[in-house]
Amino acid sequence: MKIFKVCILNIILIFLGCNTFLESKKKDLNDFKYLEIDIITLNKGYLSGEYSIEEVTQSYIDRIENIDNNGPILNSIITLNPDAISIAKSLDEELKTKGSRGHLHGIPVLLKDNIDTNDKMPTTAGSRALMDSKPLNDSKVVEKLRLAGAVILGKANLSEWANFRGRRSTSGWSGVNGQTKNPYVLSRNPCGSSSGSGVSVSANLTVLAIGTETNGSIVCPSTVNGVVGIKPTVGLISRSGIIPISYTQDTAGPMARSVQDAAICLGFLTGVDENDDKTKSSLNHAYKDYIQFLNKNGLNGKRIGVYLGPLGSNDRVDSLFKRSVELIKKMGAEIIEIETVSSFEARSHSFQVMIHEYKDGLNKYFKSLGDNAPIKDLEELIEFNKNDTIELKYFNQAYLKLAQNTDGIKSKKYLNSLSTLKRLSQKEGIDKVMDENDLDAIIAPTGSPSWSTDWFNGDNYHVSSSSPSAWAGYPVISVPMGNIHGLPVGISFFGRAWSEPTLIEISYAFEQSSKARIIPKFYPNDEY
């Protein structure tokens, strides 16, 4: 009997010990010196000597190893920059001898892996066809980040080909790096296509990340990962050296844990680029400093349109949004309800524009890789996928095939869709609604809480408000507004072309009042 009791006691102790170990492991995941640290705090630490850039960079690399590659295994990062530490050391030395280059001096940044770097890292778009692809030049975005003194930590995983390859796709999956996981609940989806960018920022694997968006690819991973994403006006940031989908809708944008950090980063990315004609339109609209627009009282006196279209699909999202609207009212804004922003007809024209521009853009991109390009054109990419054992395992390449079969960007079908899209989304869309109601901005829930990852049926989100801004090429900022059972949900602020200053002002005011961001705890599944 005594032996039996001892055995039982030992089992209990072991059980309790295991639980204690697991709890300690959970706690340890966020036992990080730089947890939730912001750019301004890092700047001060560098200048005072409290932190070194090398120390900070190494700490993030170690955290990536502990959390992304081991532990929860988020799979948010495809490759680390082997030169990151040497870059950090040189920036430390420069800080001592010449002073700081500005706010991004020594700040760790991750890049979505459709953004070219001319270094030891490939640029893959998540595709096995480009696993060894080495661009001949830095993208303009990377050129500006390096000039600002940022430390490029590595490349973030993404929905392969920015989630424009085939139907029933699963966000965050790529042939190169597999499935990126949501840091709040690992069995749930990170959204995309800037999946790794959103996850890495949220999980404190970096200070900043750069995403890209054609429709929803910055703001959706921002909402489900509890971070801030700025999708700017098309043309504010150069797209040269970014693997394209649509010349009309594509843009890069910053992702961060705060509006302040995202705004700081945005200012370093703007400017005219002779290799991207769209940027010429940013003259007299772009700023190098968006910090000046941070205003805690920025909602006072503003007229805000509440877009009702995305409501009605999820009562919990609706409830969070209504509370946010009430908060915005309390902060001095006038609320005007808006039933429709853009005609639904714009959707089909946007799709036609995308598939026509996709073929043209991809073929030009493959040509930019030079004679040693692993893939020479879209037709060759389609054949590669057919013969690969992994690429078509879970979803198809219908959009690549549709793009290949188009008549090009000089066809009547394309030109008609392009002109109709611009008219419906701009003049008769956002511009009209804002003029008629004298609005400073429009708000809507960004999306639904994260859904369970499903490789066979694809994504299952049921709330989205990104399309009106995407179709028009206009800016939108997503900011955390609360959570549903521990899963973050964001609110979107959008408006006219070049209205980034106003959107930063009001989104910052909301963020500072709501304080809605929560730190992920890496639960394995919904049973937490």
- Catalytic positions, written as ranges: 112, 193, 217
Nearest to 456 by CA among 168, 176, 164: 168
In angstroms, the CA 202 to CA 25 distance is 18
Q: Give the residue-averaged pLDDT of 123-132.
A: 98
Between the CA of residue 153 and those of 29, 74, 106, 280, what are the distances in Å? 20, 16, 11, 30
Question: pTM surpassing 0.85?
Answer: yes
Instruction: Tell me the CATH architecture of domain 39-299+448-514.
Output: Alpha-Beta Complex (3.90)
Residues in CB range of 433: below 8 A, 6 or more apart: 305, 338, 340, 341, 439, 442
Q: Which residues pair with 86 in a beta bridge?
A: none
Give per-residue pLDDT as tens, 456-511.
999 999 899 999 999 999 999 999 999 999 999 999 999 999 999 999 999 999 99
What pLDDT was estimated at residue 288? 98
Task: For residue 211, name the pLDDT band (cuts at 50, 70, 90).
Answer: very high
H or E element at residue 478: strand 476-484
pLDDT (0 to 100) of residue 27: 55
What's the pLDDT at 115?
99
What is the percentage of the chain residues whose pLDDT exceeds 90?
Answer: 94
Q: How far apart are the first and last CA of the chain?
A: 37
Q: Angle at CA 162, nearest 5°, toward 161 and 168?
A: 85
Confidence at 343, pLDDT banded by 50, 70, 90: very high
**Per-residue pLDDT reduced to its tens digit, 10-66:** 444 334 433 433 443 445 899 999 999 999 999 999 999 999 999 999 999 999 999
Instruction: Give the span between the Cα atoms of 381 and 194, in whole angstroms.
Output: 22
Tens of pLDDT, residues 401-440: 999 999 999 999 999 999 999 999 999 999 999 999 999 9
Write down the domain spans for the chain: 39-299+448-514
Share of the chain above pLDDT 70, in %: 95
Return d(Cα 155, Cα 525) in angstroms, integer.
27
